[in-house]
Amino acid sequence: MLDLRGFLQKAKEDGDLLELEEVDWDLELGTITELLVEKGGAALLFDKFKGYPEGYRVATNLYGTVRRFAVAIGMPNTSSRMDIIKRWRALDFTPVKPVEVNTGPILENAYFGDDINLYQFPVPRYHEHDGGRYIGTGVAVIMRDPDEGEINVGVQRVMVHDEKTVGLYISPGKHNALIRQKYWSKGESCPVVMDFGPAPLLFLSAASHVPWGISEFDWAGYLANEPIEVIPGKITGLPVPANSEIVVEGECLPPEVELRIEGPLGEWTGYYAGGERQEPVVRVKALYHRNKPILAGVPPIKPPRYAFAVQVRTTPFLWNDLEKAGIRGIKGVWEHEAGGGRMITIISLKQEYGGHAMQAGLAAVGSHGGGYMSKLVIVVDEDIDPTDLNDVLWVKANPMPNFRGTRFTNAHEILIWASKSKKSRYSFNHHAMKSLNGGKQMRSDWYLPLCTGSERIKIDGKKAHATQKPEALLYRVLLASTDPGSSRFASRTDDQG
Ligand SMILES: Cc1cc2nc3c(=O)[nH]c(=O)nc-3n(C[C@H](O)[C@H](O)[C@H](O)COP(=O)(O)O)c2cc1C
Ligand SMILES: [Mn+2]
């Protein structure tokens, strides 16, 4: 399977990698990353950080364009967004289990106990108001379900507290949150492996809504057509990917034992939504890294320019769920980038009967991936390309005359209204909102969908942009002038996933 440095090498051969030196890990790297993400620009590889020896590297803007996403998953670099979505639906999925090996590049450097120091890596602070240095953004967090034995992999942010301790923030309902709770309920710590420079396919699978019961390792193996090589971890026995860049083993302590202030981190909605709060910590027991290690950075960036083709990790699974629910006639689905690939759903449908469009819209809100923080579902006729917002809005601007109710209409907007949401205890992350809002319940006046975006904005209006330091602006000028007409960036902008 293509590892991170192999992927960067391919990007380089494709003229799609920018290598920078002597950048500050504190905000400057984050700012440059954001500028390049916004341009749909090249992948970035940083080296020679001030105060760090050469060869301790960070890579960002990895999977932010359709072109690089395709390369990362082994598809031709000319693949379209819909080509990728269809492949990621994995309709003929069969698990390809990882294989155990005795050794691999990840063991080139190994540290245990007192010898562990996470500050040996130039861990970035990405955005102006971030509460810490985040070693885990392009991360794969690996846990084993104690009941079923299944390995789950998710992307969950990891903040450095000290040399041997990190904070791990997992949102409610995520598979790793459910697994971690199983250990805690027995009064045990949860064993965990955190991979800070995973193979692209492992990271992208971990970021995706792979259904419960399917290991993201098996999913990635299926997509790669070959198993991932893993080494059983000395401390946890969990699989340590043999070709990853930086991996730690550790234990996530029960909240009764220890909590520490985590966050805030500029988040994927473009806001500091979560604030800072008491969160569980992981004690790091073992640290492994390759020679000249590369830390993967996928910092959240304001939609639609999130540094990742966010749509791909949700759309294919929603499409599958809709068909499983018996909805026929679906021509395309798109979780629009402006909603961070989650909050705005567009379905293109060949309507076959009265109520069909409404049924599709409601099924979307009722499905696992489609309902998580859902805000708006738009169902359009099958001649409309759901990935093209102009096409979709064009329908709205030109409604068909004489349509009535929900029957064979040209376009539906499915908005779900509630009468009792003020008292609802089930607002997404309501505990977080409570802590942010002086202990008050989150206000949810009129939306039923488990929405928080607009409420969050009211609570804390800080945007997640990195500071545009003068040095970073200099880089922007430099980049534009070294690339005549910025044609490379311009064409990539159209491409942005
Ligand atoms: C870059 C990135 C950062 C993310 N950060 C977090 C996070 O900090 N906490 C979290 O619970 N989910 C986070 N997610 C979302 C989860 O990784 C995603 O929902 C994944 O499907 C969870 O795995 P699961 O399906 O096994 O629950 C992030 C996703 C991406 C792509
Ligand atoms: Mn999972």
Helix-helix angle 216-224:200-207, to 10 degrees? 130
Average pLDDT over every residue of 130-146: 97
- Whole-angstrom Cα distance, residue 157 to residue 153? 13
* Whole-angstrom distance, CA of residue 255 vs CA of residue 303: 33
pLDDT of the residue at 479: 55
Q: Lowest-pLDDT range, 195-209, 230-244, 260-274, 311-325?
A: 260-274
Q: Based on the number of CB atoms within 10 Å of its own CB, is 49 exposed (0-12), middle (13-18) or buried (19 or more)?
A: buried
pLDDT of residue 343: 85
269 ligand 1 Cβ < 6 A:
no
Q: Closest Cα to atom 13, ligand 1: which residue?
A: 156
Higher pLDDT, residue 265 or 47? 47
**Which protein residue's CA is at the shortest distance from atom 7 of ligand 1?**
156
Q: What percent of the chain has pLDDT over 90?
A: 56
Can you tell me the mean pLDDT for 408-421? 39
Residue 365 is given by DSSP the state H
Dump pLDDT digits (tens) for 384-403: 889 888 988 887 777 665 44
Expressed in angstroms and rounded, the spacing between residue 154 Cα and the centre of ligand 2 is 6
Mutational pocket test of ligand 1: of 63, 141, 156, 179, the residue with most ligand atoms within 8 Å of the beta carbon:
156
Does ligand 1 come within 6 angstroms of the Cβ of 208?
A: yes
Instruction: Give the other-Cβ count within 10 Å of 441's Cβ.
Output: 15
296-347 residue pLDDT tens: 999 988 888 765 577 888 999 999 999 999 999 999 999 998 888 888 899 9
pLDDT, position 41: 86
Residue count of the chain: 497
pLDDT above 60 (res 129): yes
Instruction: Give the pLDDT score at 289.
Output: 98
Ligand nearest to the CA of 207: 1
Find the 347 Cα to ligand 2 centroid distance in Å.
25
Q: Please write the tens of the pLDDT for every residue from 9-20.
A: 999 999 999 999
* Atom 2 of ligand 1, residue of closest alpha carbon: 155
247-303 per-position pLDDT tens digit: 999 999 999 999 999 998 888 877 777 778 999 999 999 999 999 999 999 998 888
Overall average pLDDT of the 414-425 stretch: 36
Span from the CA of 189 to the centroid of ligand 2 (angstroms): 20
Ligand 1 pocket residue status of 169, Cβ below 6 Å: yes
Per-residue model confidence as pLDDT tens digits over 442-486 = 222 222 222 223 332 222 334 444 444 445 555 554 554 444 333
Q: What is the pLDDT of residue 186?
A: 98
**Over the chain, what is the mean pLDDT?**
82
Give the ligand 1 atom nearest the CA of 175: 27
158 touches ligand 1 (CB under 6 Å)? no
Neighbouring CB atoms inside 10 A of 426's CB total 9
What integer pLDDT is reported at residue 400 of this predicted model? 65
Ligand nearest 215 Cα, by number? Answer: 2
Average pLDDT of span 83-94? 94
Cα–Cα distance between 433 and 75 in angstroms, integer?
A: 41
Separation in Å, CA 274 to CA 72, 158, 339, 458: 30, 14, 17, 13
**Tell me, what's the pLDDT at 475?**
55
Mean pLDDT for the stretch of residues 367-381: 82
Q: Is the pLDDT of residue 182 over 60?
A: yes
With a 6 Å cutoff on the Cβ, whether 194 touches ligand 1 is: no
Q: In the predicted model, is pLDDT for residue 424 greater than 60? A: no
Residue 428 pLDDT more than 50?
no
Q: How confident is the model at residue 413 (pLDDT cuts 50, 70, 90)?
A: low
pLDDT at residue 297, rounded to an integer: 97
Q: Give the number of the ligand closest to the Cα of residue 156.
A: 1
Of the two residues 462 and 238, the one the predictor is more confident about is 238
Residue 455 pLDDT: 30
User: When comparing pLDDT for 171 and 36, which is higher?
Assistant: 171
Q: In what helix (H) or strand (E) does residue 369 lie, and over which residues does it extend?
A: helix 368-371
Please, which residues bridge with residue 125 across strands? Answer: 26
